[in-house]
């Protein structure tokens, strides 16, 4: 399968060995050399060689190939979460670049294999994507291109409405069906113990809980549902092929979700390892300058954007350093002598162990929440910017640590997407759908909202409503197939 | 390759050929790129599938770098990377207008124009003929890079004929570079004449404006450095700039010959017919003052315009007041003459057909 030149192949072997010796534990990783046009194509397909037909891949390809042709950007590295892991090298790149990419890719491959948020992803996605493509092509043959594409467009409009954490949580309805007057008493063996084990107040409380539970059961869905695609899949009046298309798009969304949830960590981890391997093992003297040039490009910062490579690698290094020196735990937290803290070094050497642990169990939200310190923010010159309505431009707002952290976490929670849930599938007892937006200070973009609501309508095929806050008023927006209306509540 | 399918589908949606209801989702962004020595704006159409998302202006974000609270960020961070382009000469890439012209050509299946005349003026073109030690990898010249490496091997004595492996180093690489060369090229001028007498209303002028824009786009594709001149006339004619051309409204009578005479004078003085491709376009509502003036026009056409111009185009827009007689007169006078193209434009919807009338002959 692999078509590496003998020279690249021997480099690959070397790098695998170095990476293994450092403790990286990755899937078998297959490298292929492909042309820039292929790389653009694969990248447009999200890294895969085959996807179902859809214009948005064409759009992605259009953007990638234009920016490549005009020398604005090029893709160095691409790797797919799959077992075996597939990675691509661009034909004609310099040897140093290829080595760097390989070192970087082993970092990703290790992360895919070990990070817990990836544990539920399909490791045979390469085949699965091809199957999806075949299925959708079959529907196209049967129902016509336009028809299928139209449906895909509508579902894609709701693609972000999944519950990113649902695959990790265990089903909560383990208990049997509750009944209002059922026995709620705990077991007691001796009659005289009855009132001690089940005091009347406790019994009353349990009964009340049961009644509430029963009421909930009558609601549909019982609990607000974050996985709106799943809800539609089960309850919307769809034809078989539509159901399948919806489930395909939902599956793919879930497959890609962890990559969004761990972008900073994943890139940081891979960058950490390419740096480590390149500078200590792989580089030869003549390549150092080219390497430095390339690496600095990867981790460059810009005032307008957040660079996950940079933040990730710096945080991993910081963690390693802190745990090596024993800068953690209660003693460290409680110490407020700055000078003491500066020269704090207990020579514990726990750094390496700690970063491997971090890469296993954290995601971006917990990573930033736990390890982003005020000191780190100052050193890396972070700030928050916001839009100033008066001057009509974006301005630097503050360098306050709390604000920075809050903003970062906000952007990472739910992958920067608003949280929307199905509240009621039988709204007003008329089979209408009621969605609600968990408003957290930021309004939804109104024009997109109305268009999306229309798409929901076409799938639900009954009037749809969404509860949100707009310009500080609680609003209910509704689309009934003909009219889009809004009502203040 | 299946991406081509998707790519074409995307381009067709952007062009509005299919899925017309998607028009509202299409935005025409652009990015700054470099082509040869110039910075160009590259059109970057995008289709945004709507979804529930936050409004961008309220949310803000986190950045890294220097600055004080209150400092402007420069640009809109939500609009992707502002890039690092220097502020020097920035060209509006012709590609967008060229793409438009292509689109038009494709839509109307217009033939290529065969320029006539002596090839006189030089046009500059870039040609990849030279070699340089630096350049993009895509332009690497394999053979000369190899030769250079081989030379280095030979001269430093490390070349081993038994195992003739050459490993190039950075210094060996040679890249193709471009040179600017001059090429002779044909010259072309379009002279637009329009009747601005009282009977031509705003709608009529809008039609002329739209039509001339597309004609310009198409001719520009074939003639680099196309010149355009604008004449307006009622009972007398004068030359104006483009802006005035479309704004002026007079109330006088109409003597078409006045415009033709001025146009003839302009050509005779400035555009020697053996060097220039000449395209006179005349738009009116077809009202002329007298039959006598029409006869004069016909004589001018016969004696001057038809023999010397590539093609003479007359477009007649419908107006409430015009009789539309002029078109009939010309039709009677020049039946089946290839050198004059007559087209009637009843409404905006007919603009495309009319352009096809004018340019469909490939003259």
Give the pLDDT confidence score for residue A2 in this predicted structure: 59
Q: Cα(B155)–Cα(B152) distance, rounded to whole angstroms?
A: 5
Give the pLDDT confidence score for residue B228 in this predicted structure: 86
Give the pLDDT confidence score for residue B112 in this predicted structure: 62
Identify the residue with better confidence: A180 or A213: A213
Residue B64 has its nearest CB partner, among A67, A380, A386, at A380
Residue of B nearest to A53 (CA): B6
Residue A305 has its nearest CB partner, among B47, B63, B69, at B63
Chain B residues near residue A421 by CB distance under 8 angstroms: none
Per-residue confidence band for B360, with pLDDT thresholds at 50, 70 and 90: confident
Identify the residue with better confidence: B279 or B360: B279
Q: Cα(B20)–Cα(A340) distance, rounded to whole angstroms?
A: 68
Residue B61 has its nearest CB partner, among A306, A381, A448, at A306
Give the pLDDT confidence score for residue A51 in this predicted structure: 94
Backbone phi and psi for residue B47, each to the nearest 5 degrees, phi listed first: -110, 125
Contact criterion met (CB below 8 Å) for A455 and A154: yes
**Residue written as tokens 């798009």?**
A249
How far is B49 from chain A, CA to nearest CA, in Å? 6
Sequence-distant (≥ 6) Cβ neighbours of residue A86 within 8 angstroms:
A29, A30, A32, A47, A79, A80, A126
Residue of B nearest to A401 (CA): B62
Chain A residues near residue B51 by CB distance under 8 angstroms: 157-161, 448, 452
Backbone phi and psi for residue B217, each to the nearest 5 degrees, phi listed first: -60, -45
How far is A158 from chain B, CA to nearest CA, in Å? 6
Give the pLDDT confidence score for residue B94 in this predicted structure: 36
The secondary element (H helix, E strand) that includes residue B358 is: helix B351-359
Residue B63 has its nearest CB partner, among A58, A62, A302, at A302
CA A18 distance to own-chain centroid: 30
**CA torsion, ordered A175, A178, A183, A187, to nearest 10 deg:** 10
Per-residue confidence band for B90, with pLDDT thresholds at 50, 70 and 90: very low
Chain B residues near residue A72 by CB distance under 8 angstroms: 31-33, 83
Under DSSP, the state recorded for B81 is: -
Chain A residues near residue B42 by CB distance under 8 angstroms: 66, 70
Residue of B nearest to A37 (CA): B3
Can you state the percent helix, strand and coil of chain B, rounding each to 5? Answer: 40, 25, 35
Mutation target to probe the A interface, by most A beta carbons within 10 A, among B33, B64, B75 is: B64
Mutation target to probe the A interface, by most A beta carbons within 10 A, among B63, B136, B145 is: B63
Residue A303 has its nearest CB partner, among B33, B47, B64, at B64
pLDDT at B86 over 70: no
Q: Cα(A435)–Cα(B345) distance, rounded to whole angstroms?
A: 52
pLDDT at B119 over 50: no
Per-residue confidence band for A60, with pLDDT thresholds at 50, 70 and 90: very high
Mutation target to probe the A interface, by most A beta carbons within 10 A, among B49, B85, B145, B173 is: B49
Give the pLDDT confidence score for residue B91 in this predicted structure: 38
Convert the pLDDT of each residue in B198-215 to its tens digit. 777 777 887 887 788 778
Give the pLDDT mean for A367-395. Answer: 87
Which of A189-203, A403-417, B31-45 reaches the highest mean pLDDT?
A403-417
Residue of B nearest to A40 (CA): B3
Convert the pLDDT of each residue in A5-40 to its tens digit. 899 999 999 999 999 999 999 999 999 999 888 999
> Residue B300, preceding bond cis, omega within 30 degrees?
no
Enter the tokens of residue B363: 């003259």
Contact criterion met (CB below 8 Å) for B237 and B253: no
Give the pLDDT confidence score for residue A98 in this predicted structure: 92
Chain B residues near residue A76 by CB distance under 8 angstroms: none
Enter the tokens of residue A237: 């009046």
In terms of DSSP bridges, do strands B121-132 and B227-233 run parallel, antiparallel, or are they unpaired? unpaired
In terms of DSSP bridges, do strands B38-47 and B90-91 run parallel, antiparallel, or are they unpaired? parallel
Q: Do A396 and B68 touch (CB under 8 A)?
A: yes
Q: Do A445 and B53 touch (CB under 8 A)?
A: yes
Give the pLDDT mean for A355-378. Answer: 93
What's the Rg (C-alpha) of chain A?
A: 27
Mean predicted lDDT score pLDDT of chain B? 77
How far is A171 from chain B, CA to nearest CA, in Å? 27
List the single range of A148-152, A217-221, A309-313, A324-328 with lowest mean pLDDT: A217-221
Mutation target to probe the A interface, by most A beta carbons within 10 A, among B61, B71, B74, B137 is: B61
Give the pLDDT confidence score for residue B83 in this predicted structure: 28
Convert the pLDDT of each residue in B301-339 to its tens digit. 888 888 888 888 898 888 766 677 888 888 888 888 888
Contact criterion met (CB below 8 Å) for B208 and B315: yes
Contact criterion met (CB below 8 Å) for B52 and A418: yes
Mutation target to probe the B interface, by most B beta carbons within 10 A, among A91, A294, A304 is: A304
Identify the residue with better confidence: A274 or B33: A274
pLDDT at A69 over 60: yes
Give the number of A-B residue pairs with CB atoms closer than 8 Å.
219
Convert the pLDDT of each residue in B223-255 to its tens digit. 767 788 898 888 888 888 877 787 676 667 788
Chain B residues near residue A160 by CB distance under 8 angstroms: 51-53
Give the pLDDT confidence score for residue B78 in this predicted structure: 42
Give the pLDDT confidence score for residue B293 in this predicted structure: 87
Residue of B nearest to A386 (CA): B60
Q: Cα(B286)–Cα(B317) distance, rounded to whole angstroms?
A: 8
Give the pLDDT mean for A58-65. Answer: 90
Identify the residue with better confidence: A81 or A207: A81
Give the pLDDT confidence score for residue A442 in this predicted structure: 84
Angle between helices A6-21 and A95-114 (to 10 degrees): 40
Q: Cα(A396)–Cα(B69) distance, rounded to whole angstroms?
A: 5
Mutation target to probe the B interface, by most B beta carbons within 10 A, among A89, A98, A305 is: A305
Residue B73 has its nearest CB partner, among A45, A303, A443, at A303
Give the pLDDT confidence score for residue A165 in this predicted structure: 80
Residue B67 has its nearest CB partner, among A396, A420, A443, at A396
How far is A190 from chain B, CA to nearest CA, in Å? 59
Distance in angstroms between the alpha carbons of the first and the last residue of chain B:
38
Convert the pLDDT of each residue in B163-200 to its tens digit. 888 888 888 899 988 877 766 566 788 899 988 877 77
Residue A383 has its nearest CB partner, among B54, B63, B83, at B63
Domain locations in chain B? Answer: 122-183, 186-359
Q: Do A93 and B69 touch (CB under 8 A)?
A: no
User: In the 3-class helix/strand/coil scheme, how is chain A assigned residue by residue?
Assistant: CCCCCHHHHHHHHHHHHHHHHCCCCCCCEEEEEECHHHHHHHHHCCCCCCCCCCHHHHHHHHHHHHHHHCCCCCCCCEEECCCCEEEEEECCCCHHHHHHHHHHHHHHHHHHHHCHHHCCCCCCHHHHHHHHHHHHHHHHHHHCHHHHHHHHHHHHCCCCCCCCCHHHCCCCCCCCCCCCCCCCCCCCCCHHHHHHHCCHHHHHHHHHHHHHHHHHHHCCCCCCECCHHHHHHHHCCCCHHHHHHHHHHHHHHHHHHHHHHCHHHHHHHHHHHHHHHHHHHHCCHHHHHHHHHHHHHHCCCECCECCHHHHHHHHHHHHHHHHHHCCCHHHHHHCCCHHHHHCCCCCCCCHHHHHHHHHHHCCHHHHHHHHCCHHHHHHCCEEEEEEECCCCEEEEEECCHHHHHHHHHHHHHHHHCCCEEEEEEEECCCCEEEEEECCCCCCECHHHHHHHHHHHHHHHCCCEEEEEEECCEEEEEEECCCCEEEEEC
3-state secondary structure of B134: coil
pLDDT-above-90 percentage for chain A: 57
In terms of DSSP bridges, do strands A420-427 and A432-437 run parallel, antiparallel, or are they unpaired? antiparallel
Identify the residue with better confidence: A399 or B78: A399
Query: Would you call B78 exposed, middle or buried from its count of C-beta atoms within 10 A (0-12, 13-18, 19+)?
Result: middle
Per-residue confidence band for B88, with pLDDT thresholds at 50, 70 and 90: very low
3-state secondary structure of B129: strand
Give the pLDDT confidence score for residue B75 in this predicted structure: 55
Q: Cα(A411)–Cα(A403) distance, rounded to whole angstroms?
A: 12
Chain A residues near residue B46 by CB distance under 8 angstroms: 59, 63
List the single range of A205-209, A274-278, A444-448, B358-362 with lowest mean pLDDT: B358-362
Specify whether domain B186-359 bears CATH 3.40.50.410.
Answer: yes
pLDDT at A248 over 90: yes
Residue of B nearest to A420 (CA): B52
Which of A302-306, A441-445, B99-103 reaches the highest mean pLDDT?
A441-445
Q: Do A444 and B50 touch (CB under 8 A)?
A: no
Mean predicted lDDT score pLDDT of chain A? 88
Mutation target to probe the B interface, by most B beta carbons within 10 A, among A34, A59, A399 is: A59
Convert the pLDDT of each residue in A150-185 to its tens digit. 999 999 999 999 988 877 765 444 444 444 455 666
Residue of B nearest to A42 (CA): B3
Q: Do A157 and B49 touch (CB under 8 A)?
A: yes
Nearest CA to B330 out of B355, B312, B346, B348 is that of: B312
Convert the pLDDT of each residue in A82-121 to its tens digit. 999 999 998 888 899 999 999 999 999 999 999 999 998 9
Q: DSSP string spanning B159-224?
A: --TTS------GGG--EEEEEEEEEEE-EEEEEEEEE-STT--HHHHHHHHHHHHHHHHHHHHHST
Residue of A nearest to B78 (CA): A304
Q: Do B73 and A301 touch (CB under 8 A)?
A: no
How far is A379 from chain B, CA to nearest CA, in Å? 10
List the single range of A157-166, A195-204, A208-217 with lowest mean pLDDT: A208-217
Give the pLDDT confidence score for residue B100 in this predicted structure: 60
CA distance to A380, A414, B60, per residue, from A385 (Å):
15, 21, 6
Q: Cα(B119)–Cα(A144) distance, rounded to whole angstroms?
A: 53
Residue B307: count other Cβ atoms within 10 Å of its Cβ. Answer: 10
Chain A residues near residue B64 by CB distance under 8 angstroms: 301-303, 306-307, 310, 380-383
Chain B residues near residue A444 by CB distance under 8 angstroms: 52-55
């Amino acid at each position: 399968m692999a078509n590496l030149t003998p020279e690249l192949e021997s480099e690959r072997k070397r790098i695998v060995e170095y990476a293994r010796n450092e403790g990286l534990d990755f899937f078998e990783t297959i490298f292929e050399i492909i042309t820039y046009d292929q790389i653009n194509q694969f990248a447009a397909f999200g890294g895969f060689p085959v996807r179902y037909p859809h214009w948005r891949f064409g759009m992605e390809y259009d953007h990638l190939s234009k920016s490549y042709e005009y020398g604005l950007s090029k893709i160095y590295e691409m790797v797919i979460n799959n077992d075996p892991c597939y990675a691509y090298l661009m034909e004609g790149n310099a040897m140093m670049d290829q080595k760097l990419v390989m070192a970087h890719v082993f970092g990703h491959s290790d992360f895919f294999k070990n990070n817990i948020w990836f544990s539920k992803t399909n490791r045979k996605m390469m085949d699965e994507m091809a199957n999806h493509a075949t299925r959708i092509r079959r529907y196209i043959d049967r129902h016509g291109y336009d028809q299928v594409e139209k449906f895909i467009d509508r579902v894609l409009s709701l693609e972000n409405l999944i519950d990113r954490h649902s695959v990790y949580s265990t089903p909560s309805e383990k208990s049997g069906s509750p009944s209002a007057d059922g026995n709620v008493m705990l077991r007691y063996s001796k009659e005289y113990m009855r009132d001690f084990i089940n005091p009347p107040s406790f019994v009353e409380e349990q009964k009340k809980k049961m009644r509430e539970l029963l009421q909930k059961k009558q609601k549909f869905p019982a609990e607000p549902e974050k996985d709106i695609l799943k809800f539609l899949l089960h309850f919307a009046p769809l034809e078989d092929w539509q159901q399948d298309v919806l489930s395909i798009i939902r599956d793919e969304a879930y497959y890609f979700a962890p990559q969004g949830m761990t972008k900073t960590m994943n890139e940081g981890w891979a960058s950490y390892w390419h740096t480590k391997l390149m500078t200590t093992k792989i580089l030869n003297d003549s390549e150092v300058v080219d390497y430095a040039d390339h690496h600095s490009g990867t981790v460059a910062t810009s005032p307008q954007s957040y660079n996950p490579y940079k933040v990730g690698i710096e945080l991993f290094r910081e963690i390693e350093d802190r745990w090596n020196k024993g800068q953690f735990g209660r003693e460290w937290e409680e110490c407020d002598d700055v000078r003491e803290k500066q020269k704090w070094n207990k020579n514990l050497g726990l750094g390496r162990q700690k970063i491997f642990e971090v890469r296993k169990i954290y995601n971006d939200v917990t990573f930033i929440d736990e390890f982003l310190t005020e000191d780190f923010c100052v050193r890396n010159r972070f700030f928050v910017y916001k839009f100033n309505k008066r001057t009509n431009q974006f301005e630097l707002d503050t360098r306050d640590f709390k604000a920075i952290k809050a903003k970062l976490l906000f952007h990472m929670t739910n992958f920067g997407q608003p949280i929307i849930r199905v509240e009621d599938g039988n709204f007003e007892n008329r089979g209408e759908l009621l969605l609600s937006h968990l408003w957290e200070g930021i309004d939804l973009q109104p024009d997109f909202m109305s268009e999306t609501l229309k798409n929901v309508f076409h799938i639900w095929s009954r009037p749809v409503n969404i509860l949100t806050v707009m310009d500080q008023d609680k609003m209910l927006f509704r689309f009934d197939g003909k009219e889009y209306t809004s009502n203040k509540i | 390759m299946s991406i081509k399918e998707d790519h074409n589908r995307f381009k067709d949606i952007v062009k509005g050929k299919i899925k017309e209801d998607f028009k509202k989702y299409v935005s025409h962004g652009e990015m700054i790129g470099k082509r040869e020595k110039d910075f160009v704006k590259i059109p970057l159409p995008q289709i945004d599938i709507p979804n529930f998302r936050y409004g961008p202006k309220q949310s803000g974000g986190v950045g890294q770098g220097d600055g004080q609270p209150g400092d402007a960020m420069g640009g809109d961070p939500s609009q992707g990377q502002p890039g690092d382009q220097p502020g020097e000469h920035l060209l509006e890439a012709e590609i967008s207008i060229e793409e438009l012209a292509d689109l038009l050509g494709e839509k109307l299946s217009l033939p290529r124009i065969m320029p006539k005349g002596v090839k006189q003026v030089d046009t500059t073109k870039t040609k990849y003929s030279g070699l340089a030690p630096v350049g993009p990898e895509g332009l690497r010249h394999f053979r000369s890079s190899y030769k250079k490496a081989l030379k280095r091997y030979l001269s430093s004595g490390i070349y081993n004929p038994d195992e003739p492996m050459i490993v190039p180093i950075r210094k060996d690489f040679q890249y193709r570079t471009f040179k600017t060369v001059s090429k002779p090229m044909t010259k072309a001028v379009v002279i637009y004449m329009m009747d601005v007498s009282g009977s031509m209303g705003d709608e009529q002028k809008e039609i002329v404006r739209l039509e001339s824009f597309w004609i310009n786009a198409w001719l520009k594709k074939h003639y680099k450095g196309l010149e355009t001149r604008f004449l307006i006339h009622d009972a007398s004619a004068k030359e104006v700039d483009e802006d005035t051309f479309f704004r002026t409204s007079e109330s006088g009578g109409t003597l078409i010959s006045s415009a033709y005479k001025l146009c003839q004078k302009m050509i005779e003085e400035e555009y020697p017919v053996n060097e220039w491709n000449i395209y006179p376009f005349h738009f009116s509502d077809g009202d002329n003052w007298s039959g006598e003036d029409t006869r004069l026009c016909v004589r001018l056409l016969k004696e001057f315009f038809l023999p010397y111009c590539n093609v003479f185009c007359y477009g007649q827009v419908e107006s409430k007041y015009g009789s539309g007689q002029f078109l009939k007169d010309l039709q009677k006078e020049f039946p089946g003459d290839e050198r004059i193209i007559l087209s009637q434009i009843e409404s905006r919807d007919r603009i495309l057909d009319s352009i096809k009338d004018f340019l469909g002959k490939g003259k």
